[in-house]
A and B are shown apart, each in its own frame.
Chain A
């Protein structure tokens, strides 16, 4: 029962909120350009579905590519860190600098460097930068968290560095990596949208551009429709990584079984 309740309760709350929203807008006669009713947003979604869905696809594509590149680079770098303390000490602070620098602040610079004609590359780079750090930090932590007895076990059998990495450290770090990826996928989407905002009109065709465009035209229903698509994309990506995590770790870890 509790299992079903965890689905039903939030869904029911959401539906009640939507109904309340609908009635509040109608009762208070709030103009469409201030706050459209859920029914107006749904209509707008139906009317503009071609534009919105093609833009959502652009945003989704960049988000996934940026996420894949960020994950690959971050895992590779964390593995490199595990092999050399000197490399870790030298490069980790640089990674932290990228993490703490607001993407909005460096976006114009990246845009200038890659050229306004290649805005999509700039967006990709920015989203990659935003998505990079959680995977790096978590992979690094995972590799370092290997139980000392397990290290001793591998030492006892004379395991080489490579054997230790492949058969112990990386598998041990996998739950940490996937946790990092769950954070990273959301950040990748945020990074893509922020970068699209900065790239501005004419250069980007993602959902952020649809939001700017709708805002400029006071088409708030369309703006909300784009926003809803973004939320759906975010939830879809998070659930996708959670599902992959569940499949991959199904039999690996005690807490995943119970």
Chain B
């Protein structure tokens, strides 16, 4: 469990908060909001990449979870092949061991890129690059995955496939996922809970538990559509560009 208390972030002016929110272990939480609502800033604070101006983050049993981060672009190193890209976190944290390569191969297979280990990022499609990026974020065996609008540049079909793959990874690995997106339908489709931030400075507008069943066709149910409509209306009332 992660507990964010009174989190704010100020640059020249306030961009975020104060925000109070709890993220339960093994939950899938999406954050949506208008442009400039501080969604990505919140994610970066959660990951420890930047520090909050005020407020505190506490962890269950005071142990900071091991985190993986997937950026909006795939952030692969173009001079390294796919396997070496996946191995990067282990290299940087000096945790390379005889099993590392096997772990990388396993993750490569899990994201559907078996046999692509020796390819270079320049030889992959946008969707494949994002899959490598997810494998890299997971290879350390982390239990908290943060994603910052990772599928926004992908076409509809690829995006849907990756969303389903992400759900499968979440379900089978017992990880916590914090997912930033500007797509209401994506947030409702993926998450157990959707947090809506107001336009700058981003504050909590809505914290909606998604009623869903994980069977196929959820996005065609009235339940899904009403929740999408509800969140869209909140964002519309708030104004600003999504």
In the complex, whether A147 has a CB less than 8 A from a CB of chain B is: yes
Interface residue from B48, B69, B72, B93 paired with A153 (Cβ < 8 Å): B69
- Roughly how many angstroms separate A252 CA and B79 CA in the complex, as a whole number? 4
Q: Is the CB of B73 within 8 A of A156?
A: no
For B79, the chain A residues whose CB sits under 8 A away are: 171, 174, 251-253
- Roughly how many angstroms separate A242 CA and B72 CA in the complex, as a whole number? 33
B:67-112 near A, CB below 8 Å: 67, 69, 71-73, 75, 77-79, 81, 88-89, 91-93
Q: Is the CB of A156 within 8 A of B88?
A: no
Interface residue from A153, A155, A251 paired with B71 (Cβ < 8 Å): A153
Q: Mark B33-67, 1 if CB is under 8 A from A, else 0.
A: 00000000000100111000000000000000001
Q: Is the CB of B78 within 8 A of A254?
A: yes
Query: How many chain B residues touch A (Cβ–Cβ < 8 Å)?
Result: 23
Q: Is the CB of B71 within 8 A of A149?
A: yes
Q: Is the CB of A149 within 8 A of B78?
A: no
In the complex, whether A202 has a CB less than 8 A from a CB of chain B is: no
In the complex, whether B240 has a CB less than 8 A from a CB of chain A is: no
Stretch of B9-17, B116-124, B186-194 that contacts chain A: B116-124
Q: Is the CB of B77 within 8 A of A150?
A: yes
Q: Mark A231-258, 1 if CB is under 8 A from B, else 0.
A: 0000000000000000000011110111
- Among residues of A, the one whose C-beta sits closest to the C-beta of B74 is A149
- Once A149-B72, A251-B120, A257-B122 are accepted as A-B contacts, the answer to whether A163 and B92 lie under 8 Å apart by CB is yes
- Among residues of A, the one whose C-beta sits closest to the C-beta of B69 is A156
- Once A150-B77, A155-B49 are accepted as A-B contacts, the answer to whether A254 and B71 lie under 8 Å apart by CB is no
Q: Is the CB of B77 within 8 A of A171?
A: yes
Q: Is the CB of B92 within 8 A of A159?
A: yes
CB distance from A150 to the nearest CB of B (A): 6
For B75, the chain A residues whose CB sits under 8 A away are: 147, 149-150, 153
For A252, the chain B residues whose CB sits under 8 A away are: 78-79, 120, 122
CB distance from B39 to the nearest CB of A (A): 16
Q: Is the CB of A168 within 8 A of B77?
A: yes
Q: Is the CB of A253 within 8 A of B71?
A: no
- Roughly how many angstroms separate A258 CA and B49 CA in the complex, as a whole number? 34
B: residues with CB less than 8 A from A are: 44, 47-49, 67, 69, 71-73, 75, 77-79, 81, 88-89, 91-93, 120-123
